[in-house]
Structure 1
Amino acid sequence: MKQALFIIAFISGLFLVSCNSELTLQKYFVENSEKKDFIALDISSDILNVDKTKLTAVQKEALQSFDKINVLAFKLDDKNKAQFETERAKVKSILKNTIYQPLMRIGSGKEGASVSYVETDGKIDEFVLFANKNDAGFAIVRVLGKDMNPTNIMNMVSVLKESKVNLDQLKPLQELIKKK
């Protein structure tokens, strides 16, 4: 009996040690989605409100590769400037992890954005947009899907042109975009 308990404890210990305690964007979203300074949205592909019968085969493939979008935004105000700096540094640190492959960066002194992707077995599972504005806050947008590729993302632009996007799902973000 003691030997069985020892084996169970040993295996449990190995499992706990092998678990990755490193912060990921998914964990960051979960930890912060309910906090008062953050706005969290999950947007499904239904937001596009597109007539699939009118899409080309290439557009249908692009749409099928898209699953959902997760948005987490931090709204900056006069009271949370220090927290803004801390949270922004956390996100930048997460995005330095090698699983997030940088695609492009743009920016100036007060504003900036980066696009990264996560690849598994040669297939892109996630695109990440991190946008930052020193006088408004920041937003992280995770575009999740299956077997995505840059061509599919470009083809999604043409799908967006065909869509009748339901902007009601995006109203919480309007507050972040507005100037003080």
Structure 2
Amino acid sequence: MFRYVSLMMLVTTIPAMIVERSFASRFIADYEKLPRPWVYYLVNCGSIALSTFFYCTVLLASQSTWYLAILTLIFVVFIMLSSLTIVLIFRRDAAKLRDITNETGFSTINYTLSLKFQLAENVRVTKLLVHVSVRYSVWGFFGCCLSACSLIVFGESQPLGQLLYALLDNYIAM
């Protein structure tokens, strides 16, 4: 049981960081200056609520094979959408930074030096999150495929299904 709770928290950790970075990108001019505790509460409470929802749906997934297949598809779509979101945020912030640091001196953005440094920090952090998120997507997709194969395709009573489920347990533990 603790393994599934940990796994559901892991499923929502990277998207929670992505949501926080999207707020940092949205409020770029004064994100470090003005305290916004609502961002912290929204991200953390949303992550806990979403992981609780995912955990409850995993518990209910044992009722039907189709329910488990739909749940696996929801997980894959959730993981892929979070990766796509951080890539879009990275590309937008990188384009703004290129526009600000344009050597011709003609920038379409009115900026201050602190805005430029905050934007550079956002680009560095989102670049790291892009790499983490893509690896997380590959890891999650492979884990969802193992789960689907072990429980849906082969079933729990088949030896190959049990072998794939044991492989999934080891894969999650790593």
TM tier relative to shorter chain: under 0.3
TM-score (norm 2): 0.26
- More strand as a share of residues: 1
TM-score (norm 1): 0.25
- More helix as a share of residues: 2
